[in-house]
């Protein structure tokens, strides 16, 4: 009836809808180059083990090279009848080279084959993502450098809290992305182990050399248990969790960009090429890109939930459930890659507006803590100092001025410890300069952090 690799056992063809329902070729064909790479390594190992002849190996290599070229040129005709990428490639190979093609699957199953393909595909994606994270960090560092002295209000509860620099604020995101990059490298260690050799679930009777295959494919090690090797997708879950965190970090930054670009705030402008207009309101310029990033973070977190739920309750070893690992994983990578790319470019196109930032600092009593610290350094216990400054802020508020605008005499009515030198700490610049320690917002500390990150990225 049909020509499926496994149809010998069956007495009627698979129902049309079932064929569509169970096939994965529409989406797993994107792993084709890795499927071929894995097959070539497997064939080379079989040859070394004396299981596959030199002639067969040469024929397999020749056939696979042609197939890869056809796939790259878009000439490969993918067949739903052949279910998935693995059987499409294998069938084409056999059409081309005959029996040698039929010998390729010796000592192998699609179960260890697919697990190998996903790991090779994901390893390459992680390496791309690592490069893109570094690129985004570089554009944040450039922005931080231009604004190492630019005063902006730091917020808690979205209320003006203390002055920080815009550079310091950008560096907070560089830190988050540094941890994201570390997480990616850590996941990569566990992705980079070879499942091949596990065969269907129990290993194989041929004298295989798994370490040789691992070496050919650049894996650090082999998976040590055949049942585990074909059945767990924890590495994909881990990756999607790490990807979710990157998206969540960018979602937070997006929220800030959107807020800062609101005319009510007016701290920044985003280049036109990242915004769109309104079909009805002629005046509108909307921050669509950050809004979509914020939205797409939900999509990636959704994939994390999908994958972790997919794994739940699966008995050992392989189950077809695992075919559902690919679309969430692929879409996570696609979404993350596009987001990182567009974000690096968008951050280069940000215009920072120092004036509105500075005036927001001045309107928010942002140096009240500095006044409290000043009094403490003159001998007042901090809790008393807090109270004194709170009264001064209340007074300034009734006058509609900043505490820096109060006269020395007025300030002295709150505490006799106040001297002329108080004004040096009450300005935003004075406030920044005093936070001069590792992790602080003083401009020289911001510059030191930028240098540290640049050295790290260069190294």
Catalytic positions = 157, 278
Which residues ranging from 112 to 131 are in contact with ligand ARG (CB under 6 A)? 114
Nearer to ligand ARG among residue 52 and residue 82 (C-beta): 82
Q: Which is nearer to ligand ARG, 110 or 168 (CB)?
A: 110
Report the nearest approach of ligand ARG to the CB of residue 175 (Å).
Answer: 38
Write out the H or E segment, with its range, that includes residue 352.
Answer: strand 350-352
Question: For ligand ARG, which is the closer residue by CB, 113 or 427?
Answer: 113
Spell out the residues 6+ positions from residue 107 whose beta carbon is closer than 8 angstroms to its own.
42, 46, 51, 197, 199, 204, 205, 206, 208
Q: Binders of ligand ARG among 282-321, rule CB under 6 A?
A: 318, 320
What is the rounded distance in angstroms from the CA atom of residue 93 to the CA atom of residue 104?
Answer: 9
Give rounded-to-5 percent helix, strand, coil for the chain. 70, 5, 25
- Supply the DSSP string of 136-193, one letter for each residue: HHHHHHHHHHHTSS-EEEEEETTEEEEEEEHHHHHHHHHHHHHHHHHHHHHHHHHHSE
Shortest distance in whole angstroms from residue 311 CB to ligand ARG:
13
Cβ 304 to ligand ARG shortest distance, Å: 19
84 contacts ligand ARG (rule: CB under 6 A): yes
Q: With binding defined as CB under 6 A, does residue 24 bind ligand ARG?
A: yes
75 counts as binding ligand ARG under rule CB under 6 A: no
Instruction: Provide, rounded to whole angstroms, the least separation between the CB of residue 307 and ligand ARG.
Output: 13
Q: Which residue number, 110 or 249, has a Cβ lying nearer to ligand ARG?
A: 110
Token pair of 361, please? 């600092």
> Least distance in Å: CB of 361 to ligand ARG?
56
Nearer to ligand ARG, 322 or 427 (CB): 322
Size of the site for ligand ARG (CB under 6 A): 10
Q: How many CA atoms lie within 13 A of 212 on its CB side?
A: 13
Does 111 contact ligand ARG by CB under 6 A? yes
Distance of CA 327 to the CA centre of its chain: 17
Q: What residue ranges bind ligand ARG (CB under 6 A)?
A: 24, 28, 84, 110-111, 114, 318, 320, 322-323
């Amino acid at each position: 009836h049909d020509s499926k690799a496994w149809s010998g056992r069956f007495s009627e063809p698979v129902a049309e809808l079932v064929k569509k329902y169970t096939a994965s070729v529409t989406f797993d064909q994107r792993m084709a180059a890795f499927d071929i790479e894995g097959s070539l390594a497997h064939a080379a190992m079989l040859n070394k083990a004396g299981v596959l002849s030199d002639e067969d190996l040469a024929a397999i290599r020749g056939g696979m090279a042609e197939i890869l070229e056809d796939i790259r040129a878009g000439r490969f005709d993918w067949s739903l009848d052949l279910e998935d990428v693995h059987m499409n490639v294998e069938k084409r190979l056999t059409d081309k080279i005959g029996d040698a093609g039929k010998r390729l699957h010796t000592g192998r199953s699609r179960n260890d084959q697919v697990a190998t393909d996903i790991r090779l595909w994901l390893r390459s994606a992680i390496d791309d993502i690592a490069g893109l994270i570094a690129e985004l960090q570089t554009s944040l560092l450039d922005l931080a450098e231009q604004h190492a002295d630019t005063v902006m209000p730091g917020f808690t509860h979205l209320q003006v809290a203390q002055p920080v620099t815009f550079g310091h604020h950008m560096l907070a995101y560089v830190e988050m992305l540094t941890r994201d990059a570390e997480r990616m490298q850590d996941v990569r260690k566990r992705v980079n182990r070879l499942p091949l050799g596990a065969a269907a679930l129990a290993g194989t009777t041929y004298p295989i050399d798994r370490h040789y295959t691992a070496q050919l494919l650049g894996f650090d090690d082999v998976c040590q248990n055949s049942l585990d090797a074909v059945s767990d997708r924890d590495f994909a879950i881990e990756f999607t969790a790490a990807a979710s965190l990157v998206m969540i970090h960018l979602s937070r930054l997006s929220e800030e960009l959107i807020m800062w670009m609101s005319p009510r705030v007016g701290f920044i402008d985003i280049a036109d090429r990242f915004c769109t207009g309104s079909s009805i309101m002629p005046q509108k310029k909307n921050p669509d890109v950050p809004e979509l990033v914020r939205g797409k973070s939900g999509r990636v977190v959704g994939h994390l939930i999908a994958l972790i739920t997919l794994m739940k309750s699966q008995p050992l070893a392989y189950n077809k459930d695992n075919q559902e690992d690919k679309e969430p994983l692929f879409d996570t990578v696609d979404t993350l890659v596009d987001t990182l790319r567009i974000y690096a470019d968008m951050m280069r196109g940000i215009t920072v507006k120092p004036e509105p930032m500075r005036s927001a600092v001045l309107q928010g009593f942002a140096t009240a803590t500095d006044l409290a610290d000043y009094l403490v350094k003159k001998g007042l216990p901090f809790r008393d100092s807090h109270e004194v400054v709170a009264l001064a802020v209340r007074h300034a508020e009734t006058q509609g001025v900043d505490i820096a605008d109060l006269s020395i005499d007025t300030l002295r009515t709150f505490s006799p410890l106040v001297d002329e030198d108080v004004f040096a700490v009450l300005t935003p610049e004075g406030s920044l300069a005093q936070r001069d320690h590792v992790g602080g917002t003083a401009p020289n500390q911001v510059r030191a952090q930028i240098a540290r990150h640049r050295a790290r990225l260069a190294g």
